[in-house]
Amino acid sequence: MRIGVLTAGGDCPGLNAVIRSIVHRAVTNYGDEVIGFEDGYAGLLDGRYRTLDLNAVSGILARGGTILGSSRLERARFAAACDNAKALVEKSGFDALIPIGGEGTLTAARMLSDAGVPVVGVPKTIDNDISSTDRTFGFDTAVGVATEAMDRLKTTAESHQRVMVVEVMGRHAGWIALESGMAGGAHGICLPERPFDPADLVKMVEERFSRGKKFAVICVAEGAHPAEGSMDYGKGEIDQFGHERFQGIGTALAYELERRLGKEARPVILGHVQRGGTPTAYDRVLATRFGWHAVEAVHRGEFGNMTALRGTDVRMVPLAEAVTRLKTVPEDRMREAESVF
């Protein structure tokens, strides 16, 4: 068989492990030809691709990023090009396409599938917010990076009697904040799923200081926002070039707490370090399994599906089911976290 692979969307540790696994399984076990499209769907639409043999994927298991490159998808352009893509896939003699990506990528995969392209998706997001799968690869690495940062910040906060506000990724779902906050021993966690009141954080910090604990660490997802009326937030500022720039919630919250508490509070914005670098062992294993099962699905003709972790098993679930709603943090997971603040 001739199988096309592409990686699209934001960077995510484990992408190379999926690519390597697909190539090993398809080439070594089935004698397939594997083709890698460059820079995501852009490479598919422009017909830019290259053959991926065992040598091409040698030594990439532990490497962050993607050897195929990636690009964010402009949905409008893609919708227009969808029929074209089908024609392209047929003309080039591809028997199957495996797009590896997040919500946008999988939605596009579904459109291709609906248009008749034989597609098996592999979900990818550090945010862990894709329905139908227990976890996504990349998430464990992101949580690990954020946790290590909090481990480091706690010692410095403690020595200097300071409040630290750590902003982690998560625009629409708070999984990274939840798990890194629990693992890093944060004393407060703010998620997109639940507007927070800075007054509660002020109370928590003051209660800690009254018990002789002279520091606090608060973990806040970039998409968290204050409850209405609880804090002035979200008005853009004008920067030196005349652009309106919005201050991130981590920075805004640190200033707000400093003002209300009369104590030093500092923001730390972790940013893109959470997306890059060597994946953890967990993510390499999950990514490798996803690649393996995607090839199996191709050979069983189970198109229109994506790989998903369910308990300890990797199963195929319909793309349609996976992309209809975001997987957000449920209340009971938040309650578990709160008791160790």
Q: Which residue, 46 or 151, has its beta carbon nearer to its own copies?
A: 151
**CA 125 to CA 106: how far, in whole Å?**
11
Q: Could you say which of 91, 228, 239, 262 contacts its own copies (CB under 8 A)?
A: 239
Annotated ligand binding at 274? The verdict is yes
The alpha helices in the chain, defined as continuous H runs, are 15-23, 30, 41-46, 75-91, 103-114, 139-160, 175-183, 198-210, 249-261, 281-300, 319-322, 331-338
Binding flag, residue 219, its own copies (CB under 8 A): no
Closest by CA to 124, choosing from 260, 277, 293, 308, is: 308
Annotated ligand binding at 258? The verdict is no
Number of residues in contact with its own copies under rule CB under 8 A: 93
Instruction: Return the SS3 of 171.
Output: coil
The CB density around residue 46, as the number of other CB atoms within 10 Å, is: 13
φ/ψ of 129, rounded to 5, equals -105, 20
Q: Could you say which of 91, 229, 241, 262 contacts its own copies (CB under 8 A)?
A: 241
CB 34 within 8 A of CB 65: no
List CB contacts of 22: < 8 A, sequence separation 6 or more: 3, 5, 34, 98, 291, 292, 294, 295
3-state secondary structure 203-245: HHHHHHHHCCCCCEEEEEECCCCECCCCCCCCCCEECCCCCEE
Q: How far is the CB of 170 from its own copies (least distance, A)?
A: 15
Q: Which stretch binds its own copies (CB under 8 A): 74-82, 90-98, 100-108, 276-284?
A: 276-284
The CB density around residue 128, as the number of other CB atoms within 10 Å, is: 25
Q: How far is the CB of 224 from its own copies (least distance, A)?
A: 17
Active-site pick, 11, 32, 39, 127: 127
Task: Examine the residue annotation and report whether 127 is marked as an active-site residue of this protein.
Answer: yes
Annotated ligand binding at 289? The verdict is no
Q: Which of residues 294-313 bind its own copies (CB under 8 A)?
A: 310-312
Q: Could you say which of 134, 203, 300, 325 contacts its own copies (CB under 8 A)?
A: 134
Q: Which of residues 25-64 bind its own copies (CB under 8 A)?
A: 25, 28-29, 54, 58, 61-64
Q: Which of residues 74-133 bind its own copies (CB under 8 A)?
A: none
Q: Which of residues 248-267 bind its own copies (CB under 8 A)?
A: 252, 255, 259, 266-267
Annotated ligand binding at 325? The verdict is no
Annotated ligand binding at 125? The verdict is yes
Q: Which residue, 48 or 160, has its beta carbon nearer to its own copies?
A: 160
Q: Could you say which of 275, 297, 304, 305 contacts its own copies (CB under 8 A)?
A: 275
Binding flag, residue 199, its own copies (CB under 8 A): no
Q: How far is the CB of 90 from its own copies (least distance, A)?
A: 29
**CA 43 to CA 49: how far, in whole Å?**
6
Catalytic site positions: 127
